[in-house]
Amino acid sequence: MLLTHIRPQKWMLVAGGLLGFVGGMAGLAEPLVAKTVIEAFGSGGSLAGPIVLLTVLVLCGAAISAAGSYVLERTAESIVLSARLGLVGRMLRLRVHDVDRLKPGDLLSRVTADTTLLRAVCTSGVTNGITAVFMLIGCVALMAAMDPVLLGVTLGVLTLIAAIGLFVFPRIGRATAQAQMALGEMGAGLDRALQAFRTVKASGAEARETEAVRVAAREAWRRGVTAARWSAIAGTSTWLGVQLAFLAVLGVGGIRVANGSLEISALIAFLLYLFYLTGPISMLVEGVTQLQTGLAAVTRLREIEDLETEPLDEPVAEKESTPAALSLRDVHFHYGEDRSPALHGVSFEVPAGGMTALVGPSGAGKSTIFALLERFYEPASGSILIDGRDLTELPLPELRAAIGYVEQDAPVLAGSLRENLVFGAPGATDAEIAEVLRRTQLTDLVERLPEGLETAVGHRGQMLSGGERQRVAIARALLRRPRVLLLDEATSQLDAVNEMRLREVIDEVAGETTVLVIAHRLSTVTGADRIVVLEAGRVRAIGTHAELVSGDALYRELATTQFAADSEIMTSVEG
């Protein structure tokens, strides 16, 4: 996965590495030129030439090094960007059942924090690692040419460092992965508390929620410290290894110098190379450490990349606008293998046009049916048809364009009222918006608002009343010109005016669209053409209000206890 992001940038990485290398070479040449300056002092020759050369060398070296580091950092940022764009592109196309399991705060931290770790992998990790390997090869080749015996001694000791590395590096990786996981937990904890900000305050849970986030922060610190400890051990053992190699070479070389098989100058030169080796070895250790850190992040990113996404089909250009019929045939469904079934063979028909109400006690499976109709989940068995076609035969965008969905808590997003209305239909004209506002009885509201449609509605539409939010959500769904409107009625009490308006809106919409409503109010069920009574994932009865009041005990009970009562109709139920 790391390679997928690095591959398109490989030439930039090579270019950055080369520039850095050339810059370094210029640095190496400086002492040589400085030497000619000093010699010119001694011989009384002209200083101008060598000084100009030295200045040019210093400036060019600095410029090339700076360009190299800029190219590398820029490339690293591009790799981070590519990973982020990839993740963000997938995020909203993930399947609902996967996102149910994930925590939004943790997802956020993967896109923001984990991708950042890739930067270090690309700069110090990859380039340092590669440069170090080249330098090591060159150095070892020179040492081999000088004295293979001493090289053998050196490599013997250095193998020890490698063995320590094999032990230490995976631990750095593991500790980093755990630190990132803790960071994800921190994000998830904060998200949880911020999502329920008012409830946290009202429940006096600030201290407990804060503590939960702090625990995760401390865990991230602890794991970070563990990684730092192993990094320190890796660094120190490298240094110690080179020192040991020095002593061993000194010992073995000394003996060989004493018995005349080695020149003392060769031993000194060899020892100088040995010290030179410290640089690339440290770079290599640093590089592998960064790589381990990055790989820990890559593992967390891959977990998201491995999740299935919904297909990215082209949006539907033309669609029918006539009401659609729905049919559920022996639908079985459970939310997970370890869950008991939410639906046990549900079958019912919803003819095109008119209003069908779903009622039943809490947990009966009403919202589950909506989720299956939107194909947020797939049934375990049985089939769901829209106008006689199985849902699975339709491309997802076509299905979702045919269905308007209003969730129970009618989410209204931060932004202007207009943005909320055209959320699902960005091309809607002012005339279409005005028509939908009329149908959802929101025209008065828009006229009253200080900036009309451009008025900001606040976080989650907090500046609107519950009833207004519900109607804004219906208007938003209607602007998509759905063939079926799924409406999960709010359970919260609406005042008489809003309740009446909602009922009128539903009645009007039911004239042109198939309306399937999860009903929580008596005023809705009494206006329904047919009512499906669900109980514990099964259809218990189907009929009109009058039929069910006399024919179904559960419905009668729901009508008298659960539905928000309207005194006149209550009287008719009781009578």
Secondary structure element (H or E) that encloses residue 485, with its range: strand 484-488
Is residue 451 within the footprint of ligand ATP (CB under 6 A)?
Answer: no
Query: Residue 198 or 339: which CB sits closer to ligand ATP?
Result: 339
- Closer to ligand ATP at the Cβ: 123 or 523? 523
**Residue found under tokens 């990094």:** 231
Closer residue to ligand ATP (CB): 342 or 485: 342
Q: Return d(Cα 434, Cα 239) in angstroms, integer.
A: 75
In angstroms, what is the minimal distance from the CB of 319 to ligand ATP? 28
Name the segment binding ligand ATP (CB under 6 A); options: 51-59, 73-81, 165-173, 359-367: 359-367
CA-closest candidate to residue 171, choices 283, 282, 293: 293
In angstroms, give the least distance from the CB of 545 to ligand ATP.
Answer: 19
Indicate the residue among 176 and 524 with the shorter CB distance to ligand ATP. 524
Stretch that binds ligand ATP, among 67-75, 274-282, 366-374, 442-450 (CB under 6 A): 366-374
Of 478, 480, 462, 467, the closest CA to residue 412 belongs to 462
**In this chain, which of 282, 367, 383, 416 binds ligand ATP, going by CB under 6 A?**
367
Q: Is the distance from CB of 369 to CB of 321 less than 8 angstroms?
A: no
Residue 530 Cβ, how far from ligand ATP at the closest point, in Å?
A: 18
Site string for ligand ATP, 93-132 (x = CB under 6 A): -------x--------------------------------
Q: Residue 93: helix, strand or coil by DSSP? A: coil
* CB contact set of 232 (below 8 Å; sequence gap of 6+): none
Among residues 400 and 520, whose Cβ is nearest to ligand ATP?
520
- Are 410 and 486 in contact by the 8 Å Cβ rule? The answer is no
364 near ligand ATP (CB under 6 A) = yes
Nearer to ligand ATP, 96 or 434 (CB): 96
Considering the complex, state which of residue 100 and residue 313 has its C-beta at the smaller distance from ligand ATP. 100
Tokens encoding 366: 């009403």
Of 315, 473, 322, nearest to 387 by C-alpha is: 322
**Interaction between residue 375 and ligand ATP (CB under 6 A):** no
- How many residues interact with ligand ATP (rule CB under 6 A)? 12
User: Can you state the percent helix, strand and coil of the chain, rounding each to 5?
Assistant: 70, 10, 20
Chosen residue from 75, 368, 441, 514 binding ligand ATP by CB under 6 A: 368
Least separation, in Å, of the C-beta of 111 and ligand ATP? 23
Work out which of 265, 362, 561, 567 binds ligand ATP, going by CB under 6 A.
362
Binding to ligand ATP by CB under 6 A, coded x per residue (else -) over 60-99, reads ----------------------------------------
CB of 278 to ligand ATP, least distance (A): 58
Smallest gap from residue 558 Cβ to ligand ATP (A): 11
Q: Which helix (H) or strand (E) holds 454?
A: none
| Residue number with CB closer to ligand ATP (259 or 561) | 561
543: enclosing H helix or E strand: strand 538-543
Complex with ligand ATP: residue 246 or 376, whichever CB lies closer:
376
Per-residue string for binding with ligand ATP, 329-348, x by CB under 6 A?
A: ------x---x--x------
For the CB of residue 367, give the shortest distance to ligand ATP in the complex, in Å. Answer: 3
- CA 144, CA 326: separation in Å to the nearest integer? 81
Footprint on residues 211-270 left by ligand ATP (CB under 6 A): none
Task: Taking the CA atoms of 516, 519, 521 and 526 in sequence, report the sign of the dihedral they define.
Answer: positive
Alpha helices by DSSP H, 262-324: 264-305
DSSP character string of 122-179: IIIIIIIHHHHHHHHHHHHHHHHHH-HHHHHHHHHHHHHHHHHHHHHHHHHHHHHHHH
Residue 372 near residue 379 (C-beta atoms within 8 A): yes
- Between strands 484-488 and 403-406, the pairing is parallel
In this complex, which beta carbon is closest to ligand ATP, that of residue 364 or of residue 474? 364
Amino acid type, 451: E
Q: Which residues bind ligand ATP (CB under 6 A)?
A: 100, 335, 339, 342, 360, 362-368
